[in-house]
Amino acid sequence: MPKQQKSAITGVVSVREVKERAMTIDQRLFDAWQPRALAALRIVVGFLYLQHGTAKLFHVPHVSMFDGLQVLSLDGFAGVLEIVGGLLLLLGLFTRLTAFILSGEMAVAYFIGHAPQGHFFTPVLNQGEEAVLYCFIFLFLSVAGGGAWSTDAARARTSSG
């Protein structure tokens, strides 16, 4: 007699069976929510990143460090990337390519702006934590995609269905 029939008849369930059922339920829950969590990460990171660009080019929110910023400077170009890239990430449009480009921007920002201050392997000491985090979050998004609530996902559903 199969194990499931035996436990259904006797009402006795082994600890192993309970763990297997719980793991199956947990895994299904995680599998269902993973694309949504990925989309939430993309949206929040896109919104935060967009603010870096608007602070540089539109002075909203106002950051006094960017008061004399020229659009045709390295920081000005970074601001353009941050606005365009932040908007594309918010929409989930061309997520993989956008995130890959922004990951490169943050790597350049770290090596040009933070690493020369010293403490290469301790970004907390050269104020490079945000650059490193953004770099690796963008690198992750370039591989993982935009998640459930993205224009990319909607376009994929439309083209396949």
pLDDT band at 2 (very low <50, low <70, confident <90, very high): low
Report pLDDT for 149: 93
More confident residue, 38 or 120: 38
> What are residue 124's phi and psi, to 5 degrees?
-65, -25
Per-residue pLDDT, 26: 81
For residue 4, what pLDDT is reported? 52
Cβ-contact 105, 81 below 8 angstroms: yes
pLDDT band at 7 (very low <50, low <70, confident <90, very high): very low
Q: How far apart are CA 33 and CA 62, in angstroms?
A: 37
Sign of CA dihedral 54, 57, 62, 64: positive
Q: What percent of the chain has pLDDT over 70?
A: 90
Domain layout of the chain by residue ranges: 3-160
The residues near 56 (Cβ < 8 Å, ≥ 6 apart) are 63, 66, 69, 75, 76, 78, 79, 82
Record the pTM: 0.82
Can you give the pLDDT at residue 24?
A: 74
Which of 116-146 are b and which e, b meaning 16 or more Cβ less than 10 Å from the residue's Cβ? eeeeeeebeebebebbbebbebbbebbebbb
Residue 116 is classified by DSSP as: G
What tens digit of pLDDT does each residue of 125-148 get?
999 999 999 999 999 999 999 999
Question: Can you give the pLDDT at residue 97?
Answer: 98
What is the maximal distance between C-alpha atoms in the chain?
80
Residue range 102-116, pLDDT digits in tens: 999 999 999 999 999
- Whether the predicted pLDDT of 1 surpasses 70: no
> Which of the residue ranges 5-19, 29-43, 97-111, 112-126 would you say has the lowest mean pLDDT?
5-19
Question: Which residue in 133, 56, 139, 45 sits closest to 91, CA to CA?
Answer: 45
Quick one: pLDDT at residue 139? 98
Looking at the chain, list the stretches that DSSP marks H as alpha helix, in order from N- to C-terminal side: 3-10, 15-57, 74-91, 95-109, 129-144, 151-160
